[in-house]
Amino acid sequence: MHLKLRIPNVASLVAAAVSGAALSACFPLHAWDWLAWMALVPLFVVVARARGGWSAWWSGYLAGAVFFGLSCPWIAATVHNYGGLSPALAGLVFILFLALMGSYFALFAWLGYWIGRRSGHRVLPLPFLWVAVELLRTYTPMGGFPWNLLGYSQVSHAGFMVVVPITGVYGASLIIAVENALLTDLAMRFYASRADGAPGWPTRRDAWLGIGLGVILAFATWPYHPPSLSLESMTARLVQPDTPLNQDWTGPSLARFLRQQDALSAPAGGRHVNLILWPEQPAPLSYALQPGFQAMTAEMLSRARAAFLFSEVTYPLSAQGVPDYNRPRNSSLIIHADGTTGQRYDKMHLVPFGEYVPLPAWVQRIAGIGKMVQGVGDFVPGHKPVLFHDGGHTFATLICYESIFPDLARQEVLDGAQWLVNQSDDGWYGRSSAMQQGLMMARMRAIENRRWMLRDTNSGLTAVIDPYGRVRAELPPFRTAALVTGFSPRTGLTFYTRHGDWLAWLCVALTAAFAALAALRRLR
Protein backbone atom coordinates (compact mmCIF):
# COMPACT_ATOMS: atom_id res chain seq x y z
CA MET A 1 0.00 0.00 0.00
CA HIS A 2 1.49 3.32 -1.06
CA LEU A 3 0.64 6.51 0.84
CA LYS A 4 0.82 9.51 -1.44
CA LEU A 5 1.65 12.64 0.55
CA ARG A 6 0.70 15.79 -1.29
CA ILE A 7 2.20 18.99 0.07
CA PRO A 8 0.06 22.11 -0.46
CA ASN A 9 1.47 24.69 -2.81
CA VAL A 10 2.65 28.07 -1.60
CA ALA A 11 -0.52 29.82 -2.74
CA SER A 12 -2.68 27.48 -0.66
CA LEU A 13 -0.54 28.02 2.44
CA VAL A 14 -0.60 31.77 2.01
CA ALA A 15 -4.37 31.79 1.55
CA ALA A 16 -4.84 29.61 4.65
CA ALA A 17 -2.57 31.89 6.71
CA VAL A 18 -4.46 34.96 5.50
CA SER A 19 -7.72 33.33 6.54
CA GLY A 20 -6.39 32.55 10.01
CA ALA A 21 -5.02 36.07 10.44
CA ALA A 22 -8.25 37.71 9.24
CA LEU A 23 -10.29 35.51 11.56
CA SER A 24 -8.14 36.47 14.56
CA ALA A 25 -8.59 40.18 13.73
CA CYS A 26 -12.37 39.77 14.17
CA PHE A 27 -11.81 39.46 17.93
CA PRO A 28 -10.22 41.81 20.49
CA LEU A 29 -7.79 43.50 20.50
CA HIS A 30 -8.61 44.55 16.92
CA ALA A 31 -12.31 43.58 17.04
CA TRP A 32 -12.75 44.21 13.31
CA ASP A 33 -16.00 42.26 13.37
CA TRP A 34 -16.80 43.10 9.72
CA LEU A 35 -13.91 40.85 8.67
CA ALA A 36 -15.84 37.79 9.84
CA TRP A 37 -18.05 38.07 6.75
CA MET A 38 -15.11 37.34 4.45
CA ALA A 39 -12.39 35.84 6.67
CA LEU A 40 -13.26 32.22 5.83
CA VAL A 41 -13.32 32.69 2.06
CA PRO A 42 -9.59 31.99 1.46
CA LEU A 43 -9.75 28.83 3.60
CA PHE A 44 -12.95 27.65 1.92
CA VAL A 45 -11.37 28.14 -1.51
CA VAL A 46 -8.29 26.16 -0.45
CA VAL A 47 -10.46 23.30 0.85
CA ALA A 48 -12.67 23.25 -2.26
CA ARG A 49 -9.69 23.29 -4.67
CA ALA A 50 -7.16 21.24 -2.67
CA ARG A 51 -4.93 18.84 -4.63
CA GLY A 52 -5.42 16.11 -2.04
CA GLY A 53 -6.45 15.28 1.52
CA TRP A 54 -3.01 15.96 3.00
CA SER A 55 -2.79 19.26 1.18
CA ALA A 56 -6.10 20.32 2.70
CA TRP A 57 -5.03 19.01 6.12
CA TRP A 58 -1.84 21.04 6.32
CA SER A 59 -3.48 24.17 4.95
CA GLY A 60 -6.16 23.91 7.62
CA TYR A 61 -3.52 23.28 10.27
CA LEU A 62 -1.70 26.45 9.30
CA ALA A 63 -4.93 28.49 9.36
CA GLY A 64 -5.73 27.23 12.87
CA ALA A 65 -2.22 27.80 14.19
CA VAL A 66 -2.18 31.36 12.85
CA PHE A 67 -5.65 32.06 14.25
CA PHE A 68 -4.89 30.89 17.79
CA GLY A 69 -1.33 32.22 17.70
CA LEU A 70 -2.56 35.74 16.95
CA SER A 71 -5.73 35.72 19.06
CA CYS A 72 -4.36 33.92 22.16
CA PRO A 73 -0.70 35.03 22.52
CA TRP A 74 -1.28 35.64 26.23
CA ILE A 75 -1.10 31.90 26.93
CA ALA A 76 2.70 31.82 26.61
CA ALA A 77 3.17 34.81 28.91
CA THR A 78 0.73 33.40 31.46
CA VAL A 79 2.40 30.00 31.87
CA HIS A 80 5.82 31.69 32.00
CA ASN A 81 4.96 34.38 34.54
CA TYR A 82 2.77 32.32 36.84
CA GLY A 83 3.32 28.67 35.96
CA GLY A 84 7.02 28.57 36.82
CA LEU A 85 8.10 27.70 33.27
CA SER A 86 11.25 29.02 31.68
CA PRO A 87 10.81 31.08 28.50
CA ALA A 88 11.85 28.06 26.43
CA LEU A 89 9.37 25.73 28.13
CA ALA A 90 6.63 28.36 27.97
CA GLY A 91 7.28 28.63 24.24
CA LEU A 92 7.11 24.85 23.94
CA VAL A 93 3.79 24.74 25.81
CA PHE A 94 2.45 27.43 23.46
CA ILE A 95 3.60 25.46 20.42
CA LEU A 96 1.88 22.35 21.78
CA PHE A 97 -1.25 24.43 22.36
CA LEU A 98 -1.17 25.63 18.76
CA ALA A 99 -0.61 22.08 17.56
CA LEU A 100 -3.65 20.87 19.47
CA MET A 101 -5.96 23.72 18.51
CA GLY A 102 -4.75 23.77 14.91
CA SER A 103 -5.82 20.15 14.60
CA TYR A 104 -9.48 21.22 14.73
CA PHE A 105 -8.99 23.41 11.66
CA ALA A 106 -7.01 20.61 10.02
CA LEU A 107 -9.85 18.16 10.66
CA PHE A 108 -12.32 20.64 9.18
CA ALA A 109 -10.20 21.10 6.05
CA TRP A 110 -9.56 17.38 5.52
CA LEU A 111 -13.20 16.36 6.01
CA GLY A 112 -14.35 19.28 3.88
CA TYR A 113 -12.07 18.17 1.05
CA TRP A 114 -13.03 14.49 1.35
CA ILE A 115 -16.79 15.14 1.49
CA GLY A 116 -16.69 17.77 -1.25
CA ARG A 117 -14.64 15.70 -3.67
CA ARG A 118 -16.78 12.57 -3.33
CA SER A 119 -20.25 14.07 -2.83
CA GLY A 120 -20.02 16.53 -5.70
CA HIS A 121 -20.76 19.47 -3.37
CA ARG A 122 -17.44 21.17 -2.67
CA VAL A 123 -18.72 24.29 -0.87
CA LEU A 124 -22.25 23.51 0.35
CA PRO A 125 -21.24 21.19 3.26
CA LEU A 126 -18.56 23.56 4.64
CA PRO A 127 -20.75 25.79 6.87
CA PHE A 128 -22.38 22.79 8.56
CA LEU A 129 -19.01 21.10 8.99
CA TRP A 130 -17.59 24.31 10.50
CA VAL A 131 -20.27 24.37 13.21
CA ALA A 132 -19.89 20.63 13.83
CA VAL A 133 -16.17 21.13 14.49
CA GLU A 134 -16.96 24.08 16.80
CA LEU A 135 -19.22 21.75 18.77
CA LEU A 136 -16.41 19.19 18.93
CA ARG A 137 -14.03 21.91 20.17
CA THR A 138 -16.52 22.73 22.93
CA TYR A 139 -17.11 19.22 24.22
CA THR A 140 -13.93 17.35 23.38
CA PRO A 141 -13.20 14.68 26.05
CA MET A 142 -10.06 16.51 27.29
CA GLY A 143 -12.18 19.38 28.60
CA GLY A 144 -12.81 21.54 25.56
CA PHE A 145 -11.66 25.04 24.69
CA PRO A 146 -14.47 26.84 22.82
CA TRP A 147 -12.59 30.14 22.89
CA ASN A 148 -13.42 32.71 20.18
CA LEU A 149 -16.05 30.72 18.31
CA LEU A 150 -16.99 32.48 15.07
CA GLY A 151 -20.37 33.72 16.31
CA TYR A 152 -18.83 35.66 19.21
CA SER A 153 -17.38 38.17 16.78
CA GLN A 154 -20.82 39.77 16.23
CA VAL A 155 -21.93 40.03 19.87
CA SER A 156 -22.23 43.84 19.65
CA HIS A 157 -24.76 43.71 16.78
CA ALA A 158 -28.13 43.61 18.55
CA GLY A 159 -30.13 42.93 15.37
CA PHE A 160 -28.05 39.93 14.37
CA MET A 161 -28.07 38.62 17.95
CA VAL A 162 -31.87 38.06 17.90
CA VAL A 163 -31.12 34.60 16.51
CA VAL A 164 -28.97 33.62 19.50
CA PRO A 165 -31.79 33.03 22.07
CA ILE A 166 -33.10 30.45 19.58
CA THR A 167 -29.91 28.78 18.38
CA GLY A 168 -27.15 29.73 20.81
CA VAL A 169 -23.82 31.04 19.61
CA TYR A 170 -23.69 28.25 17.03
CA GLY A 171 -26.53 29.82 15.07
CA ALA A 172 -24.53 33.01 14.69
CA SER A 173 -21.52 30.94 13.58
CA LEU A 174 -23.62 29.08 11.02
CA ILE A 175 -25.07 32.21 9.41
CA ILE A 176 -21.61 33.77 9.11
CA ALA A 177 -20.19 30.54 7.67
CA VAL A 178 -23.08 30.24 5.18
CA GLU A 179 -22.45 33.81 3.99
CA ASN A 180 -18.74 33.02 3.55
CA ALA A 181 -19.67 29.88 1.59
CA LEU A 182 -22.00 31.84 -0.72
CA LEU A 183 -19.26 34.41 -1.29
CA THR A 184 -16.77 31.61 -1.95
CA ASP A 185 -19.05 29.92 -4.49
CA LEU A 186 -19.73 33.21 -6.24
CA ALA A 187 -16.02 34.11 -6.37
CA MET A 188 -15.00 30.67 -7.66
CA ARG A 189 -17.67 30.74 -10.37
CA PHE A 190 -16.62 34.22 -11.45
CA TYR A 191 -12.96 33.17 -11.60
CA ALA A 192 -13.79 30.01 -13.58
CA SER A 193 -15.92 32.02 -16.01
CA ARG A 194 -13.13 34.54 -16.64
CA ALA A 195 -10.51 31.79 -17.00
CA ASP A 196 -12.59 29.86 -19.54
CA GLY A 197 -13.64 32.97 -21.45
CA ALA A 198 -17.28 31.98 -21.06
CA PRO A 199 -19.63 34.89 -21.84
CA GLY A 200 -22.56 33.68 -19.74
CA TRP A 201 -21.69 35.15 -16.36
CA PRO A 202 -23.73 36.01 -14.33
CA THR A 203 -26.13 33.07 -14.59
CA ARG A 204 -29.39 32.44 -12.77
CA ARG A 205 -27.48 30.56 -10.08
CA ASP A 206 -25.15 33.51 -9.63
CA ALA A 207 -28.17 35.76 -9.20
CA TRP A 208 -29.58 33.52 -6.47
CA LEU A 209 -26.20 33.47 -4.72
CA GLY A 210 -26.16 37.25 -4.81
CA ILE A 211 -29.69 37.44 -3.40
CA GLY A 212 -28.73 35.07 -0.59
CA LEU A 213 -25.72 37.23 0.25
CA GLY A 214 -27.86 40.34 0.28
CA VAL A 215 -30.48 38.82 2.59
CA ILE A 216 -27.88 37.64 5.11
CA LEU A 217 -25.96 40.92 5.11
CA ALA A 218 -29.21 42.89 5.49
CA PHE A 219 -30.11 40.77 8.50
CA ALA A 220 -26.60 41.17 9.94
CA THR A 221 -26.87 44.96 9.79
CA TRP A 222 -30.50 45.20 10.94
CA PRO A 223 -30.69 48.32 13.17
CA TYR A 224 -32.59 46.70 16.03
CA HIS A 225 -32.75 48.57 19.36
CA PRO A 226 -33.58 46.34 22.37
CA PRO A 227 -35.86 47.69 25.12
CA SER A 228 -34.34 49.87 27.82
CA LEU A 229 -35.06 47.52 30.79
CA SER A 230 -35.29 50.42 33.22
CA LEU A 231 -37.10 48.42 35.94
CA GLU A 232 -34.13 47.22 37.98
CA SER A 233 -35.54 45.84 41.21
CA MET A 234 -32.32 44.66 42.92
CA THR A 235 -28.88 46.08 43.59
CA ALA A 236 -25.46 44.42 43.79
CA ARG A 237 -22.03 45.63 44.89
CA LEU A 238 -19.21 44.14 42.79
CA VAL A 239 -15.80 44.39 44.47
CA GLN A 240 -12.67 44.59 42.29
CA PRO A 241 -9.65 44.37 44.65
CA ASP A 242 -6.88 44.22 42.01
CA THR A 243 -4.90 41.88 44.26
CA PRO A 244 -1.34 41.15 43.03
CA LEU A 245 -1.03 37.59 41.80
CA ASN A 246 2.46 37.18 43.25
CA GLN A 247 1.42 38.29 46.75
CA ASP A 248 3.27 36.46 49.52
CA TRP A 249 0.41 35.35 51.74
CA THR A 250 1.11 35.44 55.48
CA GLY A 251 -1.09 36.13 58.48
CA PRO A 252 -0.53 39.92 58.35
CA SER A 253 -0.93 40.16 54.55
CA LEU A 254 -4.18 38.18 54.66
CA ALA A 255 -5.45 40.44 57.46
CA ARG A 256 -4.64 43.53 55.38
CA PHE A 257 -6.43 42.01 52.42
CA LEU A 258 -9.56 41.35 54.48
CA ARG A 259 -9.55 44.92 55.81
CA GLN A 260 -9.34 46.25 52.25
CA GLN A 261 -12.17 44.01 51.11
CA ASP A 262 -14.28 45.02 54.10
CA ALA A 263 -13.81 48.71 53.21
CA LEU A 264 -14.71 48.10 49.55
CA SER A 265 -17.81 46.15 50.59
CA ALA A 266 -19.12 48.78 53.04
CA PRO A 267 -22.34 50.67 52.18
CA ALA A 268 -21.69 54.00 50.48
CA GLY A 269 -23.98 56.98 50.05
CA GLY A 270 -26.75 55.32 52.01
CA ARG A 271 -27.57 52.98 49.09
CA HIS A 272 -28.63 49.55 50.25
CA VAL A 273 -27.58 46.53 48.19
CA ASN A 274 -29.08 43.05 48.08
CA LEU A 275 -25.89 41.21 47.17
CA ILE A 276 -22.17 41.73 47.80
CA LEU A 277 -19.89 39.97 45.33
CA TRP A 278 -16.22 39.16 45.66
CA PRO A 279 -14.40 37.76 42.62
CA GLU A 280 -12.20 34.75 42.15
CA GLN A 281 -8.84 35.91 43.49
CA PRO A 282 -5.39 34.68 44.57
CA ALA A 283 -6.02 35.18 48.31
CA PRO A 284 -6.13 31.76 50.07
CA LEU A 285 -9.57 32.19 51.60
CA SER A 286 -11.22 29.22 53.28
CA TYR A 287 -14.25 30.26 55.31
CA ALA A 288 -14.58 27.09 57.38
CA LEU A 289 -10.90 27.15 58.43
CA GLN A 290 -10.41 30.89 59.10
CA PRO A 291 -12.15 32.27 62.23
CA GLY A 292 -10.87 35.76 61.41
CA PHE A 293 -12.60 35.68 58.04
CA GLN A 294 -15.80 34.48 59.70
CA ALA A 295 -15.70 37.32 62.23
CA MET A 296 -15.08 39.93 59.52
CA THR A 297 -17.97 38.53 57.47
CA ALA A 298 -20.36 38.65 60.44
CA GLU A 299 -19.47 42.28 61.16
CA MET A 300 -19.71 43.28 57.49
CA LEU A 301 -23.14 41.70 57.06
CA SER A 302 -24.46 43.25 60.27
CA ARG A 303 -23.80 46.65 58.67
CA ALA A 304 -24.74 45.88 55.07
CA ARG A 305 -27.74 43.57 55.68
CA ALA A 306 -27.02 41.87 52.34
CA ALA A 307 -26.18 38.40 51.06
CA PHE A 308 -22.49 37.74 50.43
CA LEU A 309 -21.06 35.55 47.64
CA PHE A 310 -17.31 34.93 47.48
CA SER A 311 -14.77 32.53 46.01
CA GLU A 312 -12.70 30.28 48.27
CA VAL A 313 -10.67 27.08 48.44
CA THR A 314 -12.48 24.24 50.18
CA TYR A 315 -11.25 20.86 51.35
CA PRO A 316 -13.36 17.73 51.81
CA LEU A 317 -13.26 16.14 55.24
CA SER A 318 -11.79 12.68 55.68
CA ALA A 319 -13.49 9.93 57.66
CA GLN A 320 -11.71 11.25 60.75
CA GLY A 321 -13.07 14.76 60.19
CA VAL A 322 -9.71 16.16 59.05
CA PRO A 323 -9.49 18.37 55.93
CA ASP A 324 -7.94 16.55 52.98
CA TYR A 325 -5.47 19.16 51.69
CA ASN A 326 -4.61 16.97 48.68
CA ARG A 327 -8.10 17.37 47.20
CA PRO A 328 -8.87 21.12 47.12
CA ARG A 329 -11.81 22.59 45.27
CA ASN A 330 -12.27 26.02 43.74
CA SER A 331 -15.61 26.97 45.22
CA SER A 332 -18.15 29.75 45.66
CA LEU A 333 -20.05 30.09 48.93
CA ILE A 334 -22.99 32.28 49.91
CA ILE A 335 -23.50 33.72 53.39
CA HIS A 336 -26.96 35.13 53.99
CA ALA A 337 -27.64 38.52 55.54
CA ASP A 338 -28.45 36.89 58.88
CA GLY A 339 -25.02 35.19 58.92
CA THR A 340 -26.18 31.68 58.08
CA THR A 341 -24.22 29.64 55.55
CA GLY A 342 -25.98 28.76 52.32
CA GLN A 343 -25.14 26.74 49.22
CA ARG A 344 -21.66 26.04 47.85
CA TYR A 345 -20.73 25.48 44.23
CA ASP A 346 -17.55 23.63 43.24
CA LYS A 347 -16.04 24.64 39.91
CA MET A 348 -16.56 21.97 37.26
CA HIS A 349 -14.28 23.13 34.41
CA LEU A 350 -10.72 23.46 35.76
CA VAL A 351 -7.99 25.46 34.03
CA PRO A 352 -5.05 23.37 32.68
CA PHE A 353 -1.73 24.51 34.23
CA GLY A 354 -3.77 26.86 36.42
CA GLU A 355 -5.63 24.47 38.72
CA TYR A 356 -4.14 21.18 37.60
CA VAL A 357 -1.30 20.01 35.39
CA PRO A 358 -2.50 17.61 32.67
CA LEU A 359 0.80 15.70 32.67
CA PRO A 360 2.18 12.76 34.67
CA ALA A 361 4.09 13.69 37.83
CA TRP A 362 7.43 12.42 36.46
CA VAL A 363 7.09 14.68 33.39
CA GLN A 364 6.38 17.65 35.66
CA ARG A 365 9.50 16.93 37.73
CA ILE A 366 11.78 16.56 34.70
CA ALA A 367 10.44 19.66 32.95
CA GLY A 368 10.14 21.76 36.10
CA ILE A 369 6.49 22.50 35.36
CA GLY A 370 4.29 23.88 38.12
CA LYS A 371 0.82 25.33 38.51
CA MET A 372 -0.10 28.99 38.49
CA VAL A 373 -1.97 28.43 41.77
CA GLN A 374 0.72 27.45 44.22
CA GLY A 375 0.61 25.87 47.65
CA VAL A 376 -2.06 23.25 47.03
CA GLY A 377 -2.34 20.00 45.13
CA ASP A 378 -4.24 19.53 41.90
CA PHE A 379 -7.77 20.85 42.26
CA VAL A 380 -10.69 18.42 42.12
CA PRO A 381 -13.60 19.38 39.83
CA GLY A 382 -17.19 19.64 40.98
CA HIS A 383 -19.84 17.37 39.54
CA LYS A 384 -23.02 19.41 39.05
CA PRO A 385 -24.39 22.97 38.85
CA VAL A 386 -25.69 24.50 42.08
CA LEU A 387 -28.33 27.16 42.60
CA PHE A 388 -27.92 29.79 45.31
CA HIS A 389 -31.12 30.67 47.17
CA ASP A 390 -31.58 34.02 48.89
CA GLY A 391 -34.54 36.23 49.67
CA GLY A 392 -36.93 34.17 47.56
CA HIS A 393 -34.65 34.36 44.52
CA THR A 394 -32.30 31.87 42.89
CA PHE A 395 -29.12 32.50 40.92
CA ALA A 396 -25.99 30.64 39.81
CA THR A 397 -22.33 31.37 39.23
CA LEU A 398 -19.77 30.55 36.56
CA ILE A 399 -16.22 30.55 37.94
CA CYS A 400 -13.47 31.92 35.70
CA TYR A 401 -13.52 30.57 32.16
CA GLU A 402 -16.63 28.46 32.79
CA SER A 403 -18.40 31.36 31.10
CA ILE A 404 -17.13 30.09 27.73
CA PHE A 405 -19.16 26.86 27.99
CA PRO A 406 -22.67 27.52 26.64
CA ASP A 407 -24.37 24.44 28.05
CA LEU A 408 -23.29 25.06 31.67
CA ALA A 409 -24.95 28.50 31.83
CA ARG A 410 -27.97 27.10 29.98
CA GLN A 411 -28.35 24.26 32.48
CA GLU A 412 -28.15 26.66 35.42
CA VAL A 413 -30.91 28.84 33.96
CA LEU A 414 -32.98 25.78 33.08
CA ASP A 415 -32.68 24.66 36.71
CA GLY A 416 -34.11 27.99 37.85
CA ALA A 417 -31.36 30.65 37.96
CA GLN A 418 -32.97 34.11 37.69
CA TRP A 419 -29.63 35.81 37.01
CA LEU A 420 -26.03 34.69 36.46
CA VAL A 421 -22.77 35.63 38.15
CA ASN A 422 -19.30 35.24 36.64
CA GLN A 423 -16.52 35.35 39.25
CA SER A 424 -13.10 35.49 37.60
CA ASP A 425 -9.47 36.45 38.11
CA ASP A 426 -8.31 37.67 34.71
CA GLY A 427 -5.15 39.17 36.17
CA TRP A 428 -3.31 36.08 34.95
CA TYR A 429 -3.59 37.43 31.41
CA GLY A 430 -1.97 40.81 32.11
CA ARG A 431 -2.77 43.69 29.76
CA SER A 432 -3.70 41.40 26.90
CA SER A 433 -6.75 40.82 24.72
CA ALA A 434 -7.93 37.96 26.96
CA MET A 435 -9.89 40.31 29.24
CA GLN A 436 -11.96 41.73 26.37
CA GLN A 437 -12.42 38.27 24.86
CA GLY A 438 -13.67 36.91 28.20
CA LEU A 439 -16.17 39.75 28.54
CA MET A 440 -17.35 39.15 24.98
CA MET A 441 -18.17 35.51 25.72
CA ALA A 442 -19.91 36.36 29.01
CA ARG A 443 -22.12 38.76 27.04
CA MET A 444 -23.14 35.89 24.75
CA ARG A 445 -24.25 33.78 27.76
CA ALA A 446 -26.50 36.65 28.84
CA ILE A 447 -28.05 36.89 25.36
CA GLU A 448 -28.56 33.14 24.94
CA ASN A 449 -30.53 32.84 28.17
CA ARG A 450 -31.93 36.41 28.44
CA ARG A 451 -30.47 36.84 31.91
CA TRP A 452 -28.56 39.60 33.68
CA MET A 453 -24.90 38.72 34.12
CA LEU A 454 -22.92 40.19 37.04
CA ARG A 455 -19.28 39.75 36.05
CA ASP A 456 -16.97 40.35 39.02
CA THR A 457 -13.22 40.07 38.47
CA ASN A 458 -10.09 40.61 40.51
CA SER A 459 -8.43 43.11 38.15
CA GLY A 460 -10.95 43.67 35.33
CA LEU A 461 -13.04 43.65 33.35
CA THR A 462 -15.74 43.92 36.03
CA ALA A 463 -19.07 44.66 34.34
CA VAL A 464 -22.83 44.33 34.53
CA ILE A 465 -24.43 42.88 31.39
CA ASP A 466 -28.14 43.05 30.63
CA PRO A 467 -30.17 40.24 28.98
CA TYR A 468 -29.47 41.71 25.52
CA GLY A 469 -25.71 41.60 25.96
CA ARG A 470 -25.26 45.31 26.59
CA VAL A 471 -22.63 46.36 29.11
CA ARG A 472 -24.62 48.64 31.42
CA ALA A 473 -21.76 49.55 33.78
CA GLU A 474 -18.11 48.57 34.20
CA LEU A 475 -14.95 49.37 36.12
CA PRO A 476 -11.61 50.32 34.56
CA PRO A 477 -9.11 47.43 34.70
CA PHE A 478 -6.25 47.27 37.20
CA ARG A 479 -7.95 49.58 39.68
CA THR A 480 -9.07 48.88 43.24
CA ALA A 481 -12.75 49.87 43.25
CA ALA A 482 -16.33 48.72 43.73
CA LEU A 483 -19.27 48.92 41.34
CA VAL A 484 -22.82 49.35 42.64
CA THR A 485 -25.45 48.60 40.02
CA GLY A 486 -29.06 47.56 39.56
CA PHE A 487 -30.40 44.43 37.90
CA SER A 488 -33.61 42.38 37.82
CA PRO A 489 -34.40 38.69 38.33
CA ARG A 490 -35.99 37.05 35.28
CA THR A 491 -37.92 33.80 34.99
CA GLY A 492 -38.75 33.27 31.30
CA LEU A 493 -36.89 30.63 29.29
CA THR A 494 -35.60 31.11 25.75
CA PHE A 495 -35.90 28.45 23.07
CA TYR A 496 -32.16 27.84 23.38
CA THR A 497 -32.39 27.44 27.16
CA ARG A 498 -35.14 24.85 26.73
CA HIS A 499 -33.61 22.88 23.87
CA GLY A 500 -29.86 23.49 24.05
CA ASP A 501 -27.45 22.96 21.15
CA TRP A 502 -30.09 21.58 18.80
CA LEU A 503 -28.81 23.53 15.79
CA ALA A 504 -25.21 22.46 16.31
CA TRP A 505 -26.30 18.82 16.47
CA LEU A 506 -28.39 19.35 13.34
CA CYS A 507 -25.19 20.53 11.65
CA VAL A 508 -23.50 17.33 12.82
CA ALA A 509 -26.36 15.31 11.29
CA LEU A 510 -26.16 17.21 7.98
CA THR A 511 -22.41 16.73 7.89
CA ALA A 512 -22.91 13.00 8.46
CA ALA A 513 -25.49 12.96 5.65
CA PHE A 514 -23.03 14.60 3.24
CA ALA A 515 -20.36 12.12 4.34
CA ALA A 516 -22.75 9.20 3.73
CA LEU A 517 -23.55 10.58 0.27
CA ALA A 518 -19.83 10.85 -0.44
CA ALA A 519 -19.21 7.26 0.70
CA LEU A 520 -22.14 5.98 -1.40
CA ARG A 521 -20.89 7.75 -4.52
CA ARG A 522 -17.44 6.32 -3.99
CA LEU A 523 -18.86 2.78 -3.77
CA ARG A 524 -20.78 3.34 -7.00
Average confidence score pLDDT of the chain: 89
- pLDDT level of residue 273 (50, 70, 90 thresholds): very high
Tens of pLDDT, residues 14-67 = 999 999 999 999 999 899 999 999 999 999 999 999 988 899 999 999 999 999
Do residue 240 and residue 222 come from a single domain?
Answer: no
Do residue 481 and residue 513 come from a single domain?
Answer: no
Q: What percent of the chain has pLDDT over 70?
A: 90
Do residue 174 and residue 319 come from a single domain?
Answer: no
Residue 3 lies in a domain: no
The angle, 0 to 180 degrees and rounded to 10, between the axes of the packed helices 126-139 and 87-119 is: 140
Region 375-392: mean pLDDT is 83
Distance (Å, rounded) from C-alpha 475 to C-alpha 457?
A: 10
- pLDDT level of residue 408 (50, 70, 90 thresholds): very high
Residue 409 has pLDDT above 60, yes or no: yes
3-state secondary structure of 363: helix
Distance (Å, rounded) from C-alpha 98 to C-alpha 67?
A: 9
DSSP state of 454: E
Is 154 in contact with 101 (CB distance < 8 Å)? no
Instruction: Identify which of 484, 486, 464 has the alpha carbon closest to the alpha carbon of residue 473.
Output: 464
Residue 2 lies in a domain: no
3-state secondary structure of 439: helix
Q: What domain range includes position 412?
A: 234-487
Tens of pLDDT, residues 285-302 = 999 999 999 999 999 999
- pLDDT level of residue 372 (50, 70, 90 thresholds): very low
Residue 243 has pLDDT above 50, yes or no: yes
Q: What is the pLDDT of residue 474?
A: 96
Q: What is the pLDDT of residue 3?
A: 47
Distance (Å, rounded) from C-alpha 135 to C-alpha 173?
A: 11
Distance (Å, rounded) from C-alpha 255 to C-alpha 475?
A: 25
Q: What is the pLDDT of residue 197?
A: 60
Region 82-110: mean pLDDT is 87
Do residue 342 and residue 397 come from a single domain?
Answer: yes
Do residue 213 and residue 190 come from a single domain?
Answer: yes
Comparing 263-272, 482-491, 495-504, which segment has the lowest mean pLDDT?
263-272
Q: What is the pLDDT of residue 68?
A: 96
Is 273 in contact with 267 (CB distance < 8 Å)? yes
Q: What is the pLDDT of residue 133?
A: 97
Residue 106 has pLDDT above 50, yes or no: yes
Q: What is the pLDDT of residue 7?
A: 65
Do residue 219 and residue 272 come from a single domain?
Answer: no
- CATH number where 455 lies: 3.60.110.10
Partners of residue 307 on adjacent β-strands = 275
* H or E, element range at 67: helix 53-71
Do residue 184 and residue 246 come from a single domain?
Answer: no
Residue 100 lies in a domain: yes
- pLDDT level of residue 281 (50, 70, 90 thresholds): confident
Q: What is the pLDDT of residue 38?
A: 96
Do residue 159 and residue 268 come from a single domain?
Answer: no
Tens of pLDDT, residues 143-180 = 688 999 999 999 999 999 999 999 999 999 999 999 99
Residue 149 lies in a domain: yes
Q: What is the pLDDT of residue 368?
A: 54
DSSP secondary structure string for all residues of 243-304: --TT----HHHHHHHHHHHHHHHS--TT---SEEE----SS---GGG-HHHHHHHHHHHHHH
Residue spans of beta strands (DSSP E) within 416-501: 420-424, 453-457, 463-465, 471-474, 481-487
Residue 243 lies in a domain: yes
Is 123 in contact with 190 (CB distance < 8 Å)? no
Do residue 175 and residue 210 come from a single domain?
Answer: yes
Q: What is the pLDDT of residue 142?
A: 59
Q: What is the pLDDT of residue 363?
A: 52
- pLDDT level of residue 118 (50, 70, 90 thresholds): confident
Comparing 45-59, 68-82, 330-344, which segment has the lowest mean pLDDT?
68-82
Q: What is the pLDDT of residue 374?
A: 47
Do residue 262 and residue 402 come from a single domain?
Answer: yes
- pLDDT level of residue 329 (50, 70, 90 thresholds): very high
| Higher-scoring residue by pLDDT: 307, 365 | 307
The count of structural domains within the chain is 2
DSSP secondary structure string for all residues of 126-164: HHHHHHHHHHHHHH-TT----TT-GGGGGTT-TTGGGGH
Q: What is the pLDDT of residue 323?
A: 83
Question: What is the CB-side half-sphere exposure of residue 142 using CA atoms within 13 A?
Answer: 10
Residue 44 lies in a domain: yes
- pLDDT level of residue 373 (50, 70, 90 thresholds): very low
Q: What is the pLDDT of residue 356?
A: 59
Residue 490 has pLDDT above 70, yes or no: yes
Do residue 351 and residue 389 come from a single domain?
Answer: yes
Spell out the residues 6+ positions from residue 211 whose beta carbon is closer than 8 angstroms to its own. none
Distance (Å, rounded) from C-alpha 401 to C-alpha 66?
A: 22
Residue 494 lies in a domain: no
Do residue 298 and residue 428 come from a single domain?
Answer: yes
Residue 362 has pLDDT above 50, yes or no: no
Tens of pLDDT, residues 184-235 = 999 888 777 666 665 556 778 888 888 998 999 999 989 888 988 776 789 9
Residue 118 lies in a domain: yes
